[in-house]
Structure 1
Amino acid sequence: MKTNNPIIRHVFTSDPTLIEHDGVVYLYTGHDECPVEREEYIMTNWLCFSSRDLVNWVEHPSPLAAKDYTWASGDAFASKIIYYNNLFYFFTAVSHKTIPGKAIGIAVSERPTGPFFDAKGAALITGDMLPVEAGEKANLDPSVIIDDDGRAFIFWGNGRCLYSQLSEDLLELKGEIKQISLPEFNEGSHVYKRNGNYYLMYGYGTPERVAYAMSESIYGPWKFMGLVNELAGNCETNRPATLDISEKSYFFYHNGGLKDGGSHRRSVCMDYLHYNNDGTIKKVMMTSEGIEPVSI
């Protein structure tokens, strides 16, 4: 039996985000660099891989490092990729040099493999912009959705789920920052729309499983629907991503399944994602064999 999980096996990867473009799927991940003799998060850049069948992946040069933002100190956290107005926008969480706490930046490229460049020369979201007092990690794990009417929204957070509308060029917050009340919300927001339903997945509790909520509107109310998957092996965190290709749905996550792996040396995996007739999600069966090759 062939083992396809984790899908990247020569380097530690985390926090997947991905996009399909011109018949190719591009996967962007965090890069866990912590040596085996230590246990702490050490991440300074992001990695990029591409595939034409979701099983065989080609590595590309790192598309972005945290210090490519002149205002960032060098720590790299979860990201989100979108394609909008013929450009690729890469929303990334980093540590700010001068404003306390984490911040969210935007990098842009004309090519999916980059290189990406700072789109505005400053952070999109910083700790001093939040409407309520929050912790040092409040601005983590951005997720961006372009709604059917062209409006863009960003969701993010650690300890509490925040969201706001974005300007038409995606470079500013257009609306006020609001909070969504979700059970056991820790981090790892992933928002998307499918068949008229809005979905908000997130890291649930500690250690993190993945749970989700559904809504008929991007503004809510959001109804908690339960768990998407249980604890991923040998890892205390998770950050989900999803993809619909060739009439099938796929669930991306990370675990600590590689040799010397763990919470600080994670690895991206993928398995099938199934929906019920009413749009609710069936719990994901995490496997070592992964999926069969796909014709994209």
Structure 2
Amino acid sequence: MIRRAALAATAATLALTGCAPSGPQGATPLAAADGCNPLFRNRWTADPAPLVTGDRLYLYAGHDNGEEHFRIDEWVAYSTTDMKTWTDHGAFMKPTDFTWSTGEAWASQMVEHGGRYYFYVTAQHAKPHGGKAIGVAVGDSPLGPFTDARGSALVLDNKDTWRTWSDIDPTVLVDDDGTAYLAWGNSNLYLAKLKPNMIELDGPPQELHLTNYLEGPWLHKRGDLYYLTYASIKEPEQKNERISYATAPSMAGPWTYRGELTGEAENSFTIHAGIEQFKGEWYFFYHNGLLTIDGKPGSQYRRSVAAERIVYNGDGTMQPITQTRQGVATGPCR
């Protein structure tokens, strides 16, 4: 049984500063920002997806608010220029903005290409198809407004598997030559090239077989080395997801398993990686279930985004990451 992303309005917000909003239009500065984990304490957030544009890092997430199941009604955005002070841009898109979707805003990723912004999402497809599907919206800024780029799903559920959630968790890498690649999938991992228009697959997908792969892939590149980070599980001894990764000399492979990057998230079956370089440092974003809001505790259905620094070895491998309260903060945590 799959556990996944997050969304929906929460009962509380962080105290706002008394000054006028700063940063991009429609933004609200967060008062209690200190760079410690969890990064955001005004709502539950999950499946973090970072994007750097100019001198600002945007962080997109699902808005968790479930009880006994996932309830994920919208995608929200935050941004920062220093990894300490964050601006809350609120909800900027819902899965029902896609005419083919009935809801469930699962994992997503935003990428820029050719001066436009493409938002790849997981959402529930309407009947008669049903099941999860991957869509893509397009806009002219990191905060939109966004519109369905196709009027139909980019990837529909794979009928060759028993899961109605096979097609989830899209991740996109735009290579140095402008070629874009899309990876996705639960239990089965698929990789396909995108056409230059960014909204069509350029040929049939290839299935990759990575050690203990379960879901939540994330593609990134550092130098000449390609990385595929993902949520992994080794049964029966492992009960909750961990993060593992593989590297390759090109997107064509071969992909070499490099081991576990970090362990299980606290108080959450799922853990979901997002990796980005910002102002000379590399950051690992993930979620756990530790945030309490107005006395209501976090859980695997009410998760919160956190971040840690990444340290690379001389051979390009990543040093194991310890999940901490301190996170990327340089000062004391409140």
Q: Which runs of 5+ in 2 are unaligned?
A: 1-33, 234-238
Equivalent-residue separation in structure 2 for 1:3 and 1:89 (angstroms): 27
Q: Alignment partner for residue 68 of structure 2, among 34, 39, 48? A: 39
- Give the structure-2-normalised TM-score: 0.83
Cα contact 2:40–2:305 (8 A) shared by 1: yes
Cα contact 2:65–2:302 (8 A) shared by 1: yes
Equivalent-residue separation in structure 2 for 1:81 and 1:293 (angstroms): 28
Whichever residue aligns with residue 232 of structure 1, its letter is: A
Q: Alignment partner for residue 51 of structure 2, among 15, 19, 24? A: 19
Equivalent-residue separation in structure 2 for 1:71 and 1:122 (angstroms): 6
Equivalent-residue separation in structure 2 for 1:111 and 1:214 (angstroms): 31
Q: Alignment partner for residue 109 of structure 1, among 131, 136, 139? A: 139
State the Cα distance separating 1:101 from its structure 2 match. Answer: 1.5
Q: Alignment partner for residue 141 of structure 1, among 164, 169, 180? A: 169
* Alignment-derived partner of residue 281 in structure 2: 248
State the Cα distance separating 1:134 from its structure 2 match. Answer: 4.7
Q: Alignment partner for residue 151 of structure 2, among 117, 121, 140? A: 121
Equivalent-residue separation in structure 1 for 2:192 and 2:229 (angstroms): 17
* Alignment-derived partner of residue 52 in structure 1: 81
- Give the structure-1-normalised TM-score: 0.94
Whichever residue aligns with residue 119 of structure 1, its letter is: A
Q: Between the two proteins, what is the percent identity of the paired residues?
A: 35
Equivalent-residue separation in structure 2 for 1:178 and 1:23 (angstroms): 36
State the Cα distance separating 1:18 from its structure 2 match. Answer: 1.2
> How far does the alpha carbon of each residue in 1:142-198 deviate from its partner, in whole angstroms, 9 at most, with x for none?
000111222111000001111111111011111111110011111000011111000
1:129-278 paired onto structure 2 within 5 Å = 132-205=160-233, 206-259=239-292, 260-278=297-315
State the Cα distance separating 1:292 from its structure 2 match. Answer: 3.3
Equivalent residue of 2:105, what SS? strand
Q: Which runs of 5+ in 1 are unaligned?
A: none
* Alignment-derived partner of residue 317 in structure 2: 280
Equivalent-residue separation in structure 1 for 2:124 and 2:54 (angstroms): 34
Equivalent-residue separation in structure 2 for 1:3 and 1:116 (angstroms): 29
Equivalent-residue separation in structure 2 for 1:179 and 1:273 (angstroms): 28
Cα contact 1:54–1:293 (8 A) shared by 2: no
Structure 1 residue 75 corresponds to structure 2 residue 108: no
* Alignment-derived partner of residue 92 in structure 1: 121
Equivalent-residue separation in structure 2 for 1:209 and 1:154 (angstroms): 22
Cα contact 1:104–1:142 (8 A) shared by 2: yes
Equivalent residue of 2:196, what SS? coil
State the Cα distance separating 1:46 from its structure 2 match. Answer: 0.3
Structure 1 residue 66 corresponds to structure 2 residue 99: no
In the TM superposition, structure 1's runs of 4+ consecutive aligned residues that sit over 2 Å from their partners are none
Equivalent residue of 2:317, what SS? coil
Equivalent-residue separation in structure 2 for 1:42 and 1:246 (angstroms): 35
Equivalent residue of 1:67, what SS? helix
Structure 1 residue 292 corresponds to structure 2 residue 329: yes
Whichever residue aligns with residue 256 of structure 1, its letter is: G
Cα contact 1:53–1:293 (8 A) shared by 2: no
State the Cα distance separating 1:293 from its structure 2 match. Answer: 6.2
Equivalent-residue separation in structure 2 for 1:109 and 1:115 (angstroms): 6
Equivalent residue of 1:127, what SS? coil
Whichever residue aligns with residue 220 of structure 2, its letter is: Y
Whichever residue aligns with residue 69 of structure 1, its letter is: F
Equivalent-residue separation in structure 2 for 1:246 and 1:113 (angstroms): 21
Q: Max radius of gyration: which structure?
A: 2
Equivalent-residue separation in structure 2 for 1:225 and 1:187 (angstroms): 17
Q: Which structure is higher in strand share?
A: 1
Cα contact 2:170–2:184 (8 A) shared by 1: yes
State the Cα distance separating 1:247 from its structure 2 match. Answer: 2.0
